[in-house]
Amino acid sequence: GAVPQREMAATLARVVGCPVRLPVPAWPVRVAMGEQSTLLLGSRRIHPGRALDAGYRFGEVDLERSLRRALGR
């Protein structure tokens, strides 16, 4: 299922073995990136409906296990 960005970042940091950084306030990102900042700051709730409707079966449902497999860890 979908996971919040904070959980994704913490899990990825654990898998690659680096510390979780403190959150960055939105305003410096907006100043530095302008309109493209929405790519980093915007929330996306993505559901693989079309893939599931077409019969695709995901091999991994656990985020940490999936990241470890994808990154070879």
Which mean pLDDT values do the consecutive 10-residue runs of the chain (73 residues) have? Answer: 80 90 86 88 79 87 91 91
Number of helices and strands in the chain (H, E): 5, 0
Q: How much is the pLDDT for 68?
A: 94
pTM for this structure?
A: 0.59
Distance from C-alpha of 8 to C-alpha of 14, rounded to nearest angstrom: 10
Q: CA 48, CA 51: separation in Å to the nearest integer?
A: 5
Angle at 3 between CA 32 and CA 27, to 5 degrees: 20
What pLDDT is stored for residue 43 in this prediction? Answer: 74
Q: What is the pLDDT of residue 19?
A: 84
pLDDT the model gives residue 1? 65
